[in-house]
Amino acid sequence: MPNNPIPVAQAECGKGLPLLFIAGPCVIESEELVLDVAKRLAEYAERLNVRVVFKSSFDKANRTSFSSFRGPGLEHGLEILAKVREITGLPVTTDIHEISHAAPAAAVCKIVQIPAFLARQTDLVHAAAVETAKHGGIVNVKKPQFVAPEDTGHIVKKCEEAGNPNVLLTERGATFGYGRLVNDFRCVPIMQSFGVPVCFDSTHSVQTPGGKTTGGQRDMIPTLARAAVAAGVDAVFMETHPCPDKALSDGPNQWPLDQVPRLWEQLVKLRSLFLEITADER
């Protein structure tokens, strides 16, 4: 059986526990920006008494245009994430795209993320599970936009069979037509039925794919995040930037950094109410 709760640094994430927040800029634009955002998130975490994992990508491999900014690459990106961990004390996470990324990412990151488009790649999932298990880490698999929540149980089994029972599944919307994602919050209890904590990606869920660059409905992030917490998610994923309109990747669906505390406060209250209401079910 997979572990639930799962260990995240000095805390845990899972059934009956406070929310875990996974947050940071979409891509590592620079060491200066990443450290600034991480320090502010660490400050928010201490002020609000919440648990935070810092997230940023070293490479955005899935870009609409070949010329789009992708990040500093594996080696330098992981060096920056290691600095974040050392300076702020926050555990870190990033996404991987190739089997060769698994070992170096797992050595730095508490959580290794499998992007939604790659979650059906058995060898990639297996490599991530094997390498994170060596460090007591976690595999976070984003549910593909084209996969039913019932089918994510196969992904959990792959991770277990590879030797890592610490698995997190993330809901990030399902494709509806060609240019819209929709969230079916029945996904939350369905994916939790496989014995794992479930996270909600509140920012990629508001993407509007298509066109020269991916758009997004940033104003809908709080609405969906609050709905997800009311549905019982154990963690909330949120990409954030000091100035989203100037971000080099996914700006339209990043939440302004200075507005993060207010939204987190709301979500913490909703989680507390959810746990109170469902106490007799645990």
Of 130 and 69, the one with more pLDDT = 130
Among 149-158, 209-218, 248-257, the range scoring the smallest mean pLDDT is 209-218
Contacts of 50 (CB under 8 A, 6+ apart): 18, 19, 21, 44, 264, 268
Q: What is the pLDDT of residues 216-272, one digit of tens each?
A: 899 999 999 999 999 999 999 999 999 999 999 888 999 999 999 999 999 999 999
Q: The whole model's pTM is what?
A: 0.95
Of 199 and 59, the one with more pLDDT = 199
Residue whose C-alpha is closest to residue 172's, from 134, 200, 136: 200
Length of the chain measured in residues: 282
Q: What is the pLDDT of residues 109-130, one digit of tens each?
A: 999 999 999 999 999 999 999 9
User: 35 vs 38, 72, 82, 245, 262, CA distance in Å?
Assistant: 5, 15, 11, 19, 21
What's the one-letter identity of residue 150?
E
Domain annotation for the chain: domains and CATH numbers:
6-281 (3.20.20.70)
Which residue(s) pair with 55 in the sheet? 93
pLDDT at 63 over 80: no
Note the pLDDT of residue 149. Answer: 97
